[in-house]
Amino acid sequence: MITVLQRTSEASVKINQEIVGEIEEGLMILLGIEEADSQEDIDWLCRKVCNLRIFDDEAGVMNKSLIDVNGDILLISQFTLHASTKKGNRPSYIKAAKPDVAIPLYEKFIKQLEAELGKPIQTGEFGADMKVSLINDGPVTIMIDSKNKQ
CA-based max dimension of the chain: 49
The packing angle between helices 99-117 and 39-51, to 10°, is 40
Model confidence over 79-112: pLDDT tens digits?
A: 989 888 988 899 989 889 999 999 999 999 999 9
- At 94 the pLDDT is 86
**Among positive and negative, which fits the CA dihedral 69, 146, 44, 76?**
positive
Q: Check pLDDT > 90 for residue 31.
A: yes
Active site residues: 80
Domains and CATH numbers, the chain: 2-145 (3.50.80.10)
What are the angstrom distances between the C-alpha of 27 and each of 19, 35, 36? 17, 25, 25
pLDDT above 90: percentage of residues in the chain: 87
